[in-house]
Structure 1
């Protein structure tokens, strides 16, 4: 056999082998089980992260409740006089292009917290939210989209230990006035609650207490009778344009609320051990002093603390 014939025979053998194996050669199958497991893990991670956010503030401490509009009376033993917040006497200063708008009064920045510190806290919460995520459809915007309406100390309790500060901000241009309650401890965001303002319609009351604001004025029910003191409390909510004055009673003292672009903000301090059993009582008046709203008459408002 010549060398040329040998090469032809070898070539034919190779072709035959290739034709026999042609249908056995295919790409490796996609690792579907591994991909599915990875997707499940990722979904659980996101759910856990969102749950952590809700547990921090939206669900509030164990036993805490969400208000549904209004306030109740108070039944306490020997609270200290509260610190009043004055009503706005002048328009809110124009916001800068690089940051949020200021509150209507200086009295809404409490406990020595500066506006710059409040802005830093708000920015920290927005950055933290972008890492944790409320869901792909959630977009809370930037700090300059908001107006800060309250900054005050936050007191840790047995359910959420660690002192810090609360910063409350509302979106300036949102028709529903989206509201954020940020909790900052050791300079870092630890919790964020996102909510809306009051409700619209002919049956809406003149004053509506924020439905998730209970964290601002109570500690865990586990600590009833042994609250950590001094305790700074705050109450926020929305008001109808007809409302010219709002008072908030908590303990045995009454605080005059600041009115800020459709929101009311009141605060005080308890520095004696008390057992608070009733939610804050809210009253709203028109410019002539006529009572427009009394939370004691509001059937939608849960007047008893847990």
Structure 2
């Protein structure tokens, strides 16, 4: 209502509505999903126009944002570099499409309810969250409960310092995803971790570009590894998610990490993972440790 009346959102409202917080059910995310649903419905009707900006707005910026929010990798990278996706601009596009469709208030309410419902079913999950699905087989590793199915290989990763279990790698065919969970200390978030990782990768001679994937903001990267010339770089995707007091990180390698890969199972594994925070966390160690499963791997 404020945006329709004034053409902007007050700063105090933006702070409550933006995207980079642990709870995926932010107003900003609901509006983003509502826009995506509306454009998908238009595409089903044979219309590919993602919506026009309001009069006087920058058409090039609006088109770039629209492409990014619909999954265009190059556009996502550019909007991230220029910091273009803001709540005001998202609202401008959404209101424009709603006006073009001449949606009634009842239809807009139904659209927002559908978007909110879509946001509710997305993981990764906190073990204490009673909204998480109870279906599907999970292997209990203590700090993580990881989806498993026939054909998947599970490998546990030990810490070099003390030999404790620091992470798990799930392998299927020529693709792997390594999962690690950390307690979010201070103002640490997936956004700050992502920024630090990208900076470190570039400093070490690799590359890292932010993009938007099925699990939200991620890094498409090339990282330096130990190996002979020509085999000392590895393509990777780095996924992340902010939970209540923790961060889950997924490091995808192999065929599924290539920029043109359409493999869905690494994302399904990541989003189906359940994090079990320690009942007595260490005062200094942010890593959420794992344990061997009772039934073996």
Q: TM-score, normalised by structure 2?
A: 0.25
- Greater C-alpha radius of gyration: 1
Q: Give the helix-richer structure, 1 or 2.
A: 2
